[in-house]
Structure 1
Amino acid sequence: MSEDLRRGIRECMTVAFSISSDQLSEKADVENVQQWDSLGHLALFEELNAKYPGKLEFAKFRMLLSEDDILQALS
């Protein structure tokens, strides 16, 4: 399940950040994804919310700054 979830998160990241999956590091976060700025964060929230409706609240999501943080929040 967690690998499917991780794959889904990474798919959302590629769409939100307009990048290919090979541009994501093994542990993507705001420090190593150039496109993960404030607008990218909003786009990622929208993508994740569309894929996993009702699973994330924006007030909490804004504190999630890595792929692992998001994985934990959705698990």
Structure 2
Amino acid sequence: NTTSHDNQMRHLVYLLENAVINLPEGQEQMVWLIDYTGWSLMNSPPIKTARETANILQNHYPERLAVAFLYNPPRIFETFWK
């Protein structure tokens, strides 16, 4: 893990590109499992990092996500689902 915003963004793109390269032939989409165990507002990424992550995902990988499973999501997320 790194606390540098730029390094986190580079690492995200590296992981996504590596995942795309390793998709089986003919498969275009991925399933994501996002584990929120231990997550809290105190250790969440800065808003700048969250925004840039969303920007990268929606602008550069818009059709790669087939489905995402959120494991142990924090209660604060319930606000978005209502």
When normalised by structure 1's length, the TM-score is 0.29
Give TM-score scaled by structure 2 length. Answer: 0.27
Q: 1 or 2, which has the higher strand percentage?
A: 2
Give the structure with the higher percent helix. 1
Q: For the pair shown, which has the larger CA radius of gyration, 1 or 2?
A: 2
